[in-house]
Amino acid sequence: MGTRSRKEIGQFDRVFTTSGSVNRQFPDVFRFSLNNRRRLRIYLGNQFGGSNPNRRMVLDLLDDRTLRRVTNVTVNPARIDAITRTLNPGTYRIRVSTGSNNRGRYFLDMVRL
């Protein structure tokens, strides 16, 4: 699996917003760091239409050091979902992916609570 987009968010403070498109072979990956323990909410909006289960989008929150999944959420087409998590200081990755061969659009918002 390749990575179409890899973005360095850097030190996360309050809000990060982006949008993009992904397919099965090219997820988008965003990397960010926390200096302090923070409670975050990460929203993912799936802009695929229809009800094909391959068009679900997955948001994975990964520990950058081990690449282990901290948590994830699967979002059905035309829906929005979120994960809320308290994270320790460190570096993390957000991966947005889909099971579809077609390119699907999404939006992502990360906020400090």
Q: What is the CATH number of the domain that holds 85?
A: 2.60.120.380
Range of the domain at 45: 5-112
What is the C-alpha separation between 99 and 20, in angstroms, rounded? 16
Q: What is the pLDDT of residues 45-54, one digit of tens each?
A: 999 887 777 7
What is the C-alpha separation between 41 and 85, in angstroms, rounded? 7
pLDDT of residue 66: 95
Kindly give, in sequence order, each residue whose CB lies less than 8 Å from that of residue 79, ignoring residues fewer than 6 positions away.
45, 46
Q: Are 108 and 18 in contact (CB under 8 A)?
A: yes
Tokens of 30: 């965003």
Q: What is the pLDDT of residues 14-32, one digit of tens each?
A: 999 999 999 889 999 999 9
The pLDDT of 34-62, averaged and rounded, is 91
Structural domains of the chain, count? 1
First to last CA, the chain: 33
